[in-house]
């Protein structure tokens, strides 16, 4: 996403609506609940101000909290993603800096996008599970939980990316 135009905002809202209306009701194998909305934070234009990214991620998480009545855990986890986003971007950048057009599958290519999105999702899921469980032992066993739930979330994101990328002119 190169800049935040009305179409992009519509697309991101689409992800949010999908998360709230559909994916929150999904419970694969009765315990995997995919969360795709952090990708909204991850895919904001590269130029977006750091502070704005963090505030957006907080508000985004908070809105999910409101819909799920989960009081603060999504805001907590999502703010982490916003906070760590520049570090993740640096990881997929070359030495010259970030030289892709946008943070999307089309511009970054498979390898980098998968790494970037998966890292972000994993962090979000991990912090979400840990703050939800609120126990010290959770710090360990949620490492694994986050690993496969993030895998499933990423899978859904890829499907959406591939479908949306083909039909719309605006690159997602």
Partner 1 sequence: MKRLIDLFFRHRFTLLFLFLQTLSLGILYSSAHYQRSKWTGWTSEVENTLFGWRSDLKSYFSLKEWNEQLRQENAVLRSLMKDSHFELYSRDSTDVDTLRNRQYLYRQAQVINNSIALENNTLTLDKGRVHGVLPGMGVLSEKGVVGVVLSCSAHYSTVLSLLHSRFSTSGRVRNSSYFGRVFWPGGDHRRARIEDVPVESKLDKGDLIYSSSHSSVFPPDQLIGTVALIERTAATDFLSGELELSVDFADLNSVYVVQDLMRAERDSLESLNPAF
Contact 100, 108 (CB under 8 A): yes
Contact letters (x/-) for partner 1, 79-118, by CB under 8 A?
Answer: xx-xx-----------------------------------
User: Within 10 Å of residue 140's Cβ, how many Cβ atoms?
Assistant: 9
Contacts of 169 (CB under 8 A, 6+ apart): none
In terms of CB distance, is 53 or 105 closer to partner 1? 53
Shortest distance in whole angstroms from residue 155 CB to partner 1 = 27
Window contacting partner 1 (CB under 8 A); options: 14-22, 91-99, 129-137, 146-154? 129-137
Q: What's the chain's length in residues?
A: 172
141 binds partner 1 (CB under 8 A): no
Window contacting partner 1 (CB under 8 A); options: 5-13, 34-42, 57-65, 113-121? 57-65
User: From the list 3, 135, 147, 168, which residue makes contact with partner 1 (rule: CB under 8 A)?
Assistant: 135
2-28 CB burial, b ≥16 within 10 A, e <16: eeeeeebeebbeebbeebbeebbeeee
User: Cα separations (Å) of 104 from 22, 82, 172?
Assistant: 23, 16, 6
**Which spans of this chain sit near partner 1 (rule: CB under 8 A)?**
50-51, 54-55, 58, 61-62, 65, 70-73, 75-76, 79-80, 82-83, 131-132, 134-135
């Amino acid at each position: 996403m190169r800049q935040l135009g009305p179409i992009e905002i519509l697309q991101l809202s689409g992800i949010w609506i999908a998360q709230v209306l559909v994916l929150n009701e999904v419970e694969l194998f009765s315990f995997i609940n995919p969360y795709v909305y952090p990708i909204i934070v991850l895919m904001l234009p590269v130029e977006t101000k750091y502070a704005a990214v963090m505030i957006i991620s907080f508000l985004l998480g908070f809105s999910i909290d409101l819909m799920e009545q989960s009081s603060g855990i999504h805001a907590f986890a999502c703010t982490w993603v916003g906070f760590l986003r520049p570090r993740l971007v640096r990881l997929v950048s070359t030495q010259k800096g970030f030289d892709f057009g946008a943070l999307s599958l089309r511009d970054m290519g498979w390898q980098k996008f998968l790494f970037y999105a998966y890292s972000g999702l994993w962090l979000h899921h991990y912090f979400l599970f840990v703050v939800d469980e609120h126990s010290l032992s959770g710090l360990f066993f949620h490492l694994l939980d986050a690993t496969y739930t993030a895998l499933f979330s990423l899978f859904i994101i890829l499907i959406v990316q591939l479908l949306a990328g083909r039909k719309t002119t605006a690159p997602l």
